[in-house]
Amino acid sequence: MNPEIECSSRQSIPRVLYIRRIRANREGFAKIKVELQIDTSTRYASVGISSDGASIVEIGWRSERNHSMELVPAINRAFAQARRGVEDLDSVLVASGPGGFSALRVGMSTAKAIASTRSIPLVAVGTLDLEIEPFEGMGARVCALISAGRNRLYVGVKDPADTVVKVDLQQTAEFLGGLSPSTIYCGEAAPDLAAEMSARLGGSFRASLSAPPSRRASALARLGYRKLQAGETADPATVEPLYLRSSQVSAAARRWGVRQ
């Protein structure tokens, strides 16, 4: 039996939206090391297990109570699906925000604790990077949207020539006033703005409007492993989630290496 992460009596298994398991065919699978993915940026959360950036298992759910009650049981479920335990981990890959204040802290603190306890690398990946990743390589600017509450949006933009995602916090009205027909819009908040964007852009409207969840642990596996291979790891003792406030965008972006 594979060791699990210890759960408290108050933690509960979340109502899962999807479980995706890929049967591994590679020789010697029983001996390989794996990566753990954790994304609690918003109400739509996910965890996953991968090997060399290739997803083995991913589990997603809509948080009904709070992430602190649901995250560890979900991680243990992913371990069980992958037939792995915490002792098999080679690294931890975590979504670093922006997103909900409390939600982000749950995922980040859990990732930091596992990485520190196991003395393994921790990699932080921007949440808007995860939203954009499926649309890279399409030869167009991609703009990812996550709700920031109070008629505000977390906005991430990446042009084809960019190597990083430009991150901003905008009023919804400000964002709608700057729409472009050449941009692909995506992200968790895109479906909520579809009618307004369509009215403004008409037939030129390009967007991914699938119902949430719009982020997958497999995207975190790919981007996180790429950063791991490049040596772009985070210090568990000092790394913090990316919280965007209008007065903090520039400072936060500099801390996480995002060019303005």
pTM as predicted: 0.87
Q: Give the alpha-carbon dihedral of 109, 101, 178, 212, to 10 degrees.
A: 70
Mean pLDDT of the chain: 88
Query: pLDDT category, 260, cuts 50, 70, 90?
Result: very low
- Residue found by looking up tokens 């933009």 in the block: 157
Would the pLDDT of 12 be above 70?
Answer: no
Query: pLDDT category, 10, cuts 50, 70, 90?
Result: low
Range 161-172 average pLDDT:
96
The hierarchical CATH code for the domain 16-127+215-251 is 3.30.420.40
pLDDT, tens digit (0-9, with 9 covering 90-100), for 198-207: 999 987 889 9
- Residue 198 token pair: 């369509």
Predicted local confidence at residue 33, as pLDDT: 84
Q: Percent of the chain having pLDDT more than 70?
A: 83
- Whole-number Å distance between alpha carbons of 31 and 191: 42
Does residue 54 contact residue 32 with C-beta atoms inside 8 Å? no
pLDDT, tens digit (0-9, with 9 covering 90-100), for 228-243: 999 999 999 999 999 8
Residue 193 or 243, more confident: 193
pLDDT, tens digit (0-9, with 9 covering 90-100), for 82-134: 999 999 999 999 999 999 999 999 999 999 999 999 999 999 999 999 999 99
pLDDT, tens digit (0-9, with 9 covering 90-100), for 131-153: 999 999 999 999 999 999 989 99
Exposed / middle / buried, residue 133 (Cβ in 10 Å: 0-12, 13-18, 19+):
buried
- Whole-number Å distance between alpha carbons of 77 and 73: 6
